[in-house]
């Protein structure tokens, strides 16, 4: 049966072209006033001058995509927030067996069903704040059985939430204490084919940083992952510059993430590649670290996606309004750049055709209560989301 649904918008803001949008093009936005978005069978059929409508909106933008989260996880690490506020560093806490190791101990003890239930709740909160697509990662299993359990949870989650999800295998997230590192990397490598064949993930990721995994240790792993058909993501140069960004570009990563500590050479290499930089200013905020050089990246021509890094340790944040606030304030991104980064570029990184209000794009949309886009990051605590549509279906 054909279904048609029309939204009358006082204002429509959308990226102007498919992602990834790079450099100066991130300033390009299309704006329509007093127009109707015509949706047929979940797909945008037309944007026309206002005639008649089923719903009236102040502002409509594409649905947001969060390009980097650590769902599924359980528990909180608020004690570490306190320890960091009194001078301990993220890495000291990790080395002492806390941090990722602590969350891993909780995840190992959680059943698959519990992981799915908790994740479902997280995803609902994202949706209520305008997020239609989310990248989810393993990385708290840290052994074969529990990494696979996390990936299965992500797969099962797809059946119980309406959102567009992608799964990433992050077995190389921390160095387990009870097994030699070469052996551990080999064990994780041995899972890659199985993961691909059973559609347990679309991508792999690794925490490539000092005292975690160095470029030399993981290059073969990443190339092998690519050869079995997985895309590459990388936690790159977040705490220290270890050459992770250059490695990401070398192995053809879809995105290098964080890149807080990159220098001019890295910026040059990244900007002259197809790799996108996924930035998560909430992590800098929570860790008290520096912010990524977003302006230099954009000036050099790089494409930027945004994400929350939602996890229990370095960024317990799921609200895109707060991430946008930090992006405008500390990454010094322009509102137009933020909109491109959070929609069409993040959708590209997560792996979906979305993020554009244009004919033949899925009707993944947010209807906002304000007609002023800047209100959203400015009053980040206020939830301006009125409705969220995924493939034309109202999900919030």
Q: Which does 99 bind (CB under 5 to 8 A by kind): ligand NIG, Fe ion, none?
A: ligand NIG
CA atoms within 13 A on the CB side of 248: 37
Name the residue nearer to ligand NIG (CB basis): 135 or 336: 135
> Of 61, 283, 284, 346, which lies in the binding site for ligand NIG, with binding defined by CB under 6 A?
283
388: closest CA among 164, 166, 132? Answer: 132
Q: Contact region for Fe ion (CB under 5 A) — 162-170, 260-268, 307-315, 344-352?
A: 307-315
CB-wise, 309 or 337, nearer to ligand NIG? Answer: 309
Q: Closest approach of Cβ 50 to Fe ion, in Å?
A: 43
Residue 242 interacting entry, from ligand NIG, Fe ion, none, C-beta within 5 to 8 Å by type: none
Which residue's CB is nearer to ligand NIG, number 311 or number 343? 311
207 binds, among ligand NIG, Fe ion, none (CB under 5 to 8 A by kind): ligand NIG
Task: Let me know if 301 is exposed, middle or buried by CB neighbors in 10 A (0-12, 13-18, 19+).
Answer: middle
Does 103 interact with ligand NIG (rule: CB under 6 A)?
yes
345, 351 in Cβ contact below 8 A?
no
- Is it true that the peptide bond before 296 is cis, omega within 30 degrees of 0? no
Which residue from 72, 313, 320, 392 is in contact with ligand NIG, where contact means CB under 6 A? 313
Of 36, 309, 336, 337, the one binding Fe ion (CB under 5 A) is 309
Nearest distance, CB of residue 309 and ligand NIG, angstroms: 5
Q: How far apart are CA 379 and CA 375, in angstroms?
A: 6
- 278 near ligand NIG (CB under 6 A): no
Among 101, 149, 152, 235, binds ligand NIG (CB under 6 A): 235
Question: Whole-number minimum distance, CB 312 to ligand NIG, in Å?
Answer: 6
Q: Which of residues 41-70 bind ligand NIG (CB under 6 A)?
A: 70
User: Does 308 participate in binding ligand NIG (rule CB under 6 A)?
Assistant: no
Residue 28 DSSP symbol? -
| ∠ CA 79-82-86, rounded to 5° | 140
Shortest separation between residue 223's beta carbon and ligand NIG, angstroms: 22
Our CB check for Fe ion shows the closer of 266 and 309 to be 309
How many other CB atoms are there within 10 angstroms of residue 359's CB atom? 12
Of 309, 336, 337, 364, which one interacts with ligand NIG (CB under 6 A)? 309
Euclidean distance between CA atoms 25 and 39, whole angstroms = 27
Q: How many residues does the chain have?
A: 396
For helices 181-189 and 144-160, what crossing angle results, to 10°?
40
| Site track for ligand NIG across 182-211, x = CB under 6 A | -------------------------x----
| Cα three-residue angle 189-152-19, rounded to 5 degrees | 80
The answer to whether the peptide bond before residue 72 is cis (omega within 30 degrees of 0) is yes
Q: Is 311 in the site for ligand NIG (CB under 6 A)?
A: yes
Tokens of 149: 């359990």
Binding piece for Fe ion, criterion CB under 5 A, among 88-96, 119-127, 284-292, 304-312: 304-312
Minimum CB distance to ligand NIG smaller for 129 or for 258 = 258
**DSSP-derived pairing of the beta strands 131-137 and 64-66:** parallel
For position 314 contacting ligand NIG by CB under 6 A, the verdict is: yes
**Stretch touching ligand NIG by CB under 6 A, among 105-113, 126-134, 307-315, 316-324:** 307-315
Q: Rg for the chain (alpha carbons), in Å?
A: 20
- Residue 256 DSSP label: E
Closest-CB residue for ligand NIG? Answer: 313
Residue 36 interacts with Fe ion (CB under 5 A): yes or no: no
* E strand spans, the chain: 4-15, 29-40, 43-49, 55-62, 64-66, 131-137, 164-172, 203-208, 231-236, 255-258, 276-279, 304-306, 365-368, 385-390, 393-394
The site for ligand NIG (CB under 6 A) is made up of 70, 99-100, 103, 207, 235, 238, 283, 309, 311-314
């Amino acid at each position: 049966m054909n279904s048609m649904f029309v939204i009358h918008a006082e204002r429509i803001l959308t990226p102007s072209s498919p992602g990834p949008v790079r450099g100066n093009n991130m300033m390009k936005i299309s704006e329509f006033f007093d127009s109707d978005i015509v949706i047929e069978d979940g797909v945008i059929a037309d944007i026309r001058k206002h005639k008649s409508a089923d719903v009236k909106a102040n502002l409509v933008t594409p649905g947001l995509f969060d390009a980097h989260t650590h769902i599924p996880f359980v528990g909180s690490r608020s004690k570490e927030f306190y320890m960091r506020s009194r001078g301990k560093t993220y890495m000291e806490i990790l080395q002492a067996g806390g941090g990722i190791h602590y969350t891993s101990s909780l995840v190992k003890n959680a059943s698959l069903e519990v992981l799915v239930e908790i994740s479902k709740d997280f995803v609902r909160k994202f949706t209520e704040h305008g997020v239609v697509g989310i990248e989810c990662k393993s990385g708290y299993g840290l052994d074969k059985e529990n990494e696979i359990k996390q990936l299965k949870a992500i797969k099962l989650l797809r059946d119980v939430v309406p959102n567009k999800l992608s799964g990433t295998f992050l077995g190389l997230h921390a160095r387990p204490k009870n097994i030699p590192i070469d052996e551990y990397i080999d064990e994780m490598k041995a899972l890659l084919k199985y993961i691909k064949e059973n559609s347990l993930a679309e991508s792999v990721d690794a925490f490539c940083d000092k005292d975690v995994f160095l470029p030399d240790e993981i290059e073969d792993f990443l190339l092998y992952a690519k050869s079995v058909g997985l895309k590459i993501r990388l936690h790159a140069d977040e705490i220290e510059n270890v050459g992770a960004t250059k490695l990401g570009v070398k192995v053809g990563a879809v995105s290098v993430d964080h890149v807080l500590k990159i220098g001019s050479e890295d910026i040059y290499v990244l900007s002259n590649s197809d790799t996108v930089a996924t930035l998560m200013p909430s992590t800098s905020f929570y860790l008290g670290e520096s912010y990524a050089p977003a302006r230099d990246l954009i000036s050099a021509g790089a494409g930027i996606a945004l994400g929350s890094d939602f996890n229990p340790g370095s960024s317990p944040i799921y609200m895109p309004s707060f991430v946008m606030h930090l992006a405008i304030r500390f990454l010094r991104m322009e509102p137009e750049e933020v909109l491109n980064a959070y929609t069409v570029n993040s959708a590209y990184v997560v792996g979906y055709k979305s993020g554009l209000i244009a004919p033949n794009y899925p009707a993944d949309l947010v209807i906002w209560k304000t007609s002023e886009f800047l209100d959203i990051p400015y009053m980040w605590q206020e939830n301006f989301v009125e409705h969220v549509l995924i493939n034309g279906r109202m999900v919030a």
